[in-house]
Structure 1
Amino acid sequence: MTLSELLIKVPELENYLRYMPEELKTRCTIKTYPPKTIIHQKDAELDYFGIVCEGYHRVINEFENGNVFMIERNDPIDFVGEVAILAGKPRTSVTIETTTDCTVLYFSRKDFEDWIEKDIHFLRLVSQKVAYKLYRSSYNRGNRLFYPPQHLLLLYFLQYIEEYHSCVIRRTREEIHEETGISVKTLNRTIRKLKESGMVGITKGKVTMDEAQQKMAREYVQEGRE
């Protein structure tokens, strides 16, 4: 795929490349990845910058004991490596894994650094994305510290339903553990209690919530915040 073809396929990309230095058009590369591909490994040397043009990915933090903590799940258009580069760090601080087919437009680190020095419009777009992620992280951070597992799980289920327009939570227990920080043992116990109370259902091993259950969950979450 060429850059021209990518711009036709993803027209919103034009806003990001509007004032890009002309010479970068011949120095960029485009790669497409299948789901569950690591495209950005924690602690690796970072010599590139990427624009995720298509597909969804998750940002995770991996620890030496094997535990994985999901920081966020992002949709296009997004960036790869921008935080480390803007912070002046030589290595990545997180791992990025695709959750669907993803198309990424790559530039060298030096080209990106030169680009943002010349292009205030692009720098503003990158900065806005970084600021949005920090805002979202700061806004949600207290939830995991102060709310009980039942509150966190119901909030997670409601957010999933809103995002994917599905009353079936198509996530494994391990994936929910990584996304919420709740241990698998506590997850199973809490889901069992929610089912017993009638706030969720279970179909073929997946959590489900009909409209009445969603209403109950929203009321429970709201009461917990008051």
Structure 2
Amino acid sequence: MEIFKGLPSKKREYMNILFRNCTEEVKYYMSVVEIEADQTFIKAGEECKYIYIVLSGKVTGIEWPMNEKSYYFKDFGPGDFFGEIECFAGMDNYRIDILSSTKCRLLAIPCVYYMEWMHMDVDALYMRTQENMKRLVMQTAEARRYLFMEGKDRLMVHLVRKYEQKQPLPEKLELKQTRTRISEEVGISMKTLNRNIKKLEEVNLIQLNKGKIVITKSQYMIMKKELEYYVNGENVF
């Protein structure tokens, strides 16, 4: 389908196979929407009306646990679906917030027509069930690993994510976020955040400019490498 031409080749091929037998209702009612950065287009608790597919840009998932403290848990990009798992589970409301990290183009499909299609197309249903199970398994493992990370490692995860949201990757990035916002997104106290900012500055993984965090491309590459060691069980810190 022409609408998927901007996706990476493997994802474009996947979408073309998935949508080859989609219903006329899906084709008629689906629409492309464009949203600016830092816009919440799915809010936890609201009624599931649309399933969204990212065509371009990056978005971030935000959990709201029992203590109402937000948890920015993962970035997603072109080819990722949102609102679908809730529909498959028979849930009436969205479970998490989804925020645009960059300017995005999204394909919006009304849930009612999407689910009618899934009931009729066994091949499409199998493809989406397989992808959703894979995604849930990976997210559970990632969330468990994140919970056991020390504050410094959590902060590095955040800084790497923010750096990678800028495409193409810049030679240097200055975070515009306040420290209050960073502590909320990382899920650590302000005291812990300030202590770990100082640690990263001491080992030359970040610089500070009037209190703002500055990251160079070489520093980003080192942090990304360190996090790969952590994930593989070889934490060198």
Would you say same fold, with TM above 0.5?
A: yes
Q: Which amino acid aligns with 1:122?
A: A
1:87–1:202 distance in 2 versus 1, CA, 3 Å:
same
Q: Does the CA-based 8 Å contact 2:73-2:143 persist in structure 1?
A: no
Structure 2 portions without partners, runs of 5+: none
Q: What is the root-mean-square deviation in Å for CA atoms of aligned residues?
A: 3.4
Match 1:58 to one of 60, 63, 85: 60
TM-score, with length taken from structure 1: 0.78
- 1:149 aligned onto 2:151: yes
Distance 1:127 1:32 in 2: 27
Aligned to 1:181: 187
Choose the corresponding residue for 2:139, options 118, 137, 151: 137
- C-alpha distance in 2 between matches for 1:26 and 1:47: 16
Deviation at residue 156 of structure 1 after TM alignment: 4.5
Q: Which residue of 1 aligns with 2:42?
A: 40
Q: Which segment is superposed worse, 215-224 or 51-60? A: 215-224
- Which residue pairs with 2:118 in the alignment? 116
Q: Identify which of 90, 93, 102 aligns with 2:92.
A: 90
Task: Give the equivalent residue in structure 1 for 2:21.
Answer: 19
Partner-residue secondary structure (3-state), 2:123: helix
Query: 3-state DSSP class of the match of 1:198?
Result: coil
TM-score normalised over the length of structure 2: 0.75
Identify which range, 82-91 or 215-224, moves more after superposition. 215-224
Give the partner amino acid of 1:218. Answer: E
Question: Which residue does the alignment assign to 1:68?
Answer: 70
List runs of 5+ in structure 1 lacking aligned partners.
none
1:200 aligns to 2:206 (yes or no) = yes
Q: Judge conservation of contact 1:19–1:121 (CA < 8 Å) in 2.
A: no
Shift of 1:186: 1.5
Aligned-residue identity in percent: 24
Distance 1:181 1:67 in 2: 8
CA-to-aligned-CA distance 1:44-95 (integer Å, 9 cap, x gap): 1113322222221111124687632213211011112111101111111111
SS for the counterpart of 1:114 is helix
Contact 1:198 1:213 survives alignment (8 Å): no
Q: Name the CA shift for 1:142/1:207 in 2 (closer, same or farther; >3 Å).
A: farther
How far is 1:166 from its partner? 4.7
Cα distance between partner residues in 1 of 2:86 and 2:123: 20
Aligned to 2:31: 29
Please say if residues 163 and 220 of structure 2, whose CA atoms lie closer than 8 Å, have aligned partners that are also in contact.
no
Note if contact 1:37-1:98 (Cα within 8 Å) is conserved in structure 2: yes
Paired residues, what number?
A: 223
Match of 1:224 in 2: 235
